C-alpha cells in the first residue's frame, strides 16, 4: 500500500510565499515527511487526463523552502523594494556596508539612482513588480489551459516564453510507477476542475481509496462573495467530491455541519467525514544563527496587524471605518494598520482607502511578504485583528495566539472554535465595539500584557506534524474499511494502466 499525495496546485506555484490552501497542503506534506511516512507525489496532467507521478525535487522553491528536504534559509535576505502598496514607502534595513551588499541589493540601489526614491518612484517599482507577477501567472495559466503545451506555442510567441520550468519531465527513475488497488490518494489542495475529479474517480473505480478535503462551502452557500463562474465550478466540484470519495476531511465543526446539511438538502448521503485541526506554527528556523533582519517595510508608528486576503468576505471594510474614526479623533496618535495579503478580484473598498488622504498614511497594504517578515510583524505589533464575516477555520487567529499575541477577532462561524476565550471577540458588523477594543489596546498596555500572559500559558500551538498525524488516523480507518467492489474485481482482473485512463 502506497500513499500518494496530490500536488497539482503546487507544481506551477509562482508567488514567493504560500497562501491559504497551499500553506495547508504544504504543511501537511511537511508533517508526513517529518513523521517518516513514505509518501509519493502525483499531479494532474490535463493533456493526458490522468494523474502522474511527480518528483519532489521539481517542486517550486517557495514550496521546497517549507519542506525538510533541500530547504534553504530565507532569513538575512535584503532583497527587494518595499512591498507597501499604500502610504509612504519608507523603509529601514539591517546595517550592511555597501561592500557586503548582495547583487540584488546593489541592483536596487542602481534602480533608485535611475528612478529616484520619491513615493511616485516607489509606486512605479511596485506596479512593475505586480505586473511581472501577474504576467508569470498568466503564462502559467495559459500553459495549463493548453494542456501542457509549451507556453511559447500556446501564445504564438518566440521561444523566449518556454515551457514552465516547474513542469519538466520526471527523471527516468520516477517514471513507470502505478497507483495500484489498495493505495491511498490524498487530494487536499485546490483542484476545482471537473476533469481532475473525473480522473480521481476513475482511479477509485480501480480500487484506489481517495481521501479529499473540503475546507468550506463558501462559494456554494455565499455566492455574493465570488464570481459567477467560480460559483458554478466549485459547486460542481463539491458535489463530485462528496459523492465520489472514500473519505472527506474538513477543518472545523462548523464546516462539517454545513457539509452534512448540504448533503441533506441535495438528497444524497453524506460521506465519511473527519475534522482535522490545522497547524498554526510558522517555521522559524534560522540556519544562519544570526538575528533575523528587519522586514523590507518597517512602520514608524505602533501598528496593528491583519493577515488576510483583501476580500469583501474578509471584511477589511470595517477596518477602514475604524481607522477613519481613529484618524479623526486623534490624528497625531493614530496607530498604523498593516494589511498583509493579496487582493481578491471581488473588492470594492481598496481604491477608497488608497485615495482617502485622512487615513492612507496610516494604512499599508503589503503583498509578497515572506514568512520571516511575517514573524517579525507578529512579534512587534500591538495586536492582530481578524474581522472576517465567514470562515471555514480562520488560520491567522490561531497563528496570532501561537505567537502569544492578542487577537481582536470576529465571533462569526468557525473562529470561536480556535479558542473560545483567548481572543477578544466582536460582531463582524460592530465597528463601535472594534473601535473600543483598538483604543483600549493603545491606551492600556498593561491590560494587553496580562491578556498575552494568559495566552502564552493557555494556548497550545498545533504543529503541522500533529495535523499530519490526524490525517494518518483517517488513512488507517480507510485501510481498515471494507474494500470497494471495484477493488475485489481488480483481484481477478489485470491491473489498470498507471495513468488511470478509463
The CATH architecture assigned to 3-55+170-279+465-492 reads 3-Layer(aba) Sandwich (3.40)
**pLDDT-based confidence at residue 477 (cuts at 50, 70, 90):** confident
Nearest-CA neighbor of 474 among 281, 280, 277, 215? Answer: 277
Nearest to 464 by CA among 368, 395, 405, 378: 395
What pairing do the DSSP bridges indicate for beta strands 39-45 and 50-54? antiparallel
- 1-37 burial, b if ≥16 CB within 10 A, otherwise e? eebbbbbbbbbbbbebbbeeebbbbbbbbbbbbeeee
Q: How confident is the model over 302-360, as pLDDT tens digits? A: 999 999 999 889 999 999 999 999 999 999 899 999 999 988 765 567 877 888 888 88
The set of residues, in sequence order, having a beta carbon less than 8 Å from that of 109 and lying 6+ positions away, is 98, 101
Cell 464575516 locates to 389
Residue ranges of the domains in the chain?
3-55+170-279+465-492, 86-90+111-165, 297-458
* CA dist 86 → 122, 315, 352, 391 (Å): 10, 18, 11, 26
Q: Whole-model pTM?
A: 0.74
Residue 474 CB neighbour total at 10 angstroms = 20
Query: 3-55+170-279+465-492 with 297-458: one CATH topology?
Result: yes
pLDDT in tens, 156-168: 333 332 333 333 3
CA 322 to mean position of chain CA atoms: 27
Among 25-34, 337-346, 464-473, where is mean pLDDT lowest? 337-346
Q: Which CATH topology does 297-458 take?
A: Rossmann fold (3.40.50)
Nearest to 386 by CA among 435, 298, 471, 319: 319
CB 197 within 8 A of CB 205: no
Amino acid at each position: 500500500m502506497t500513499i500518494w499525495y496530490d500536488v497539482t496546485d503546487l507544481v506551477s506555484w509562482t508567488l514567493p510565499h504560500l497562501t491559504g490552501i497551499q500553506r495547508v497542503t504544504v504543511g501537511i506534506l511537511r508533517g508526513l515527511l517529518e513523521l517518516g511516512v513514505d509518501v509519493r507525489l502525483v499531479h494532474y496532467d490535463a493533456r493526458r487526463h490522468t494523474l502522474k507521478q511527480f518528483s519532489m525535487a521539481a517542486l517550486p522553491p517557495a514550496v521546497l523552502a517549507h519542506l525538510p528536504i533541500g530547504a534553504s534559509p530565507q532569513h538575512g535576505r535584503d532583497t527587494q523594494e518595499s512591498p507597501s502598496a499604500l502610504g509612504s514607502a519608507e523603509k529601514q534595513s539591517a546595517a550592511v556596508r555597501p561592500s557586503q551588499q548582495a547583487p540584488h541589493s546593489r541592483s536596487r540601489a542602481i534602480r533608485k539612482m535611475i528612478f529616484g526614491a520619491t513615493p511616485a518612484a516607489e509606486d512605479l517599482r511596485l506596479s512593475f513588480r505586480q505586473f511581472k507577477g501577474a504576467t508569470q501567472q498568466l503564462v502559467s495559466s495559459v500553459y495549463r489551459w493548453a494542456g501542457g503545451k509549451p507556453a511559447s506555442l500556446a501564445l504564438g510567441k518566440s521561444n523566449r516564453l518556454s515551457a514552465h520550468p516547474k513542469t519538466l519531465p520526471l527523471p527516468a527513475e520516477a517514471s513507470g510507477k502505478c497507483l495500484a488497488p489498495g493505495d491511498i490518494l490524498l487530494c487536499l489542495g485546490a483542484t476545482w476542475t471537473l476533469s481532475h475529479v473525473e480522473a480521481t474517480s476513475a482511479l477509485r473505480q480501480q480500487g484506489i481509496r481517495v481521501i479529499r478535503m473540503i475546507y468550506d462551502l463558501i462559494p456554494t452557500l455565499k455566492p455574493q462573495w465570488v464570481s459567477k463562474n467560480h460559483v458554478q465550478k466549485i459547486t460542481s466540484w463539491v458535489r463530485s467530491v462528496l459523492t465520489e470519495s472514500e473519505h472527506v476531511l474538513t477543518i472545523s465543526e462548523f464546516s462539517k455541519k454545513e457539509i452534512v446539511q448540504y448533503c441533506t438538502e441535495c438528497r444524497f448521503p453524506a460521506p465519511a467525514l473527519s475534522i482535522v485541526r490545522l497547524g498554526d506554527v510558522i517555521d522559524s528556523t534560522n540556519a544562519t544563527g544570526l538575528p533575523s533582519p528587519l522586514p523590507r517595510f518597517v512602520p514608524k508608528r505602533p501598528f496593528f496587524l491583519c493577515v488576510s486576503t483583501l476580500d469583501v468576505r474578509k471584511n477589511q471594510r470595517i477596518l477602514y471605518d475604524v481607522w477613519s474614526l481613529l484618524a479623526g479623533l486623534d490624528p497625531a496618535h493614530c496607530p498604523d494598520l498593516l494589511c498583509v495579503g493579496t487582493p481578491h478580484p471581488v473588492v470594492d473598498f481598496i481604491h477608497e482607502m488608497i485615495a482617502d488622504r485622512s487615513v492612507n498614511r496610516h494604512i499599508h497594504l503589503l503583498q509578497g511578504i515572506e514568512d520571516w517578515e511575517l514573524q517579525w510583524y507578529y512579534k512587534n505589533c500591538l495586536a492582530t485583528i481578524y474581522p472576517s464575516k465567514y470562515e471555514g477555520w480562520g488560520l491567522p487567529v490561531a497563528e496570532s495566539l501561537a505567537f502569544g499575541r492578542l487577537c481582536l477577532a470576529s465571533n462569526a462561524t468557525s473562529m470561536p472554535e480556535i479558542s473560545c476565550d483567548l481572543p477578544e471577540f466582536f460582531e463582524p458588523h460592530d465597528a463601535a465595539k472594534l473601535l473600543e477594543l483598538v483604543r483600549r489596546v493603545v491606551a492600556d498596555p498593561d491590560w494587553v500584557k496580562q491578556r498575552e500572559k494568559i495566552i502564552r500559558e493557555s494556548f497550545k500551538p498545533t504543529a503541522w506534524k500533529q495535523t499530519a498525524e490526524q490525517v494518518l488516523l483517517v488513512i488507517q480507518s480507510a485501510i481498515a474499511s471494507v474494500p470497494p467492489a471495484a477493488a475485489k474485481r481488480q483481484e481477478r482482473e489485470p491491473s489498470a494502466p498507471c495513468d488511470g485512463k478509463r
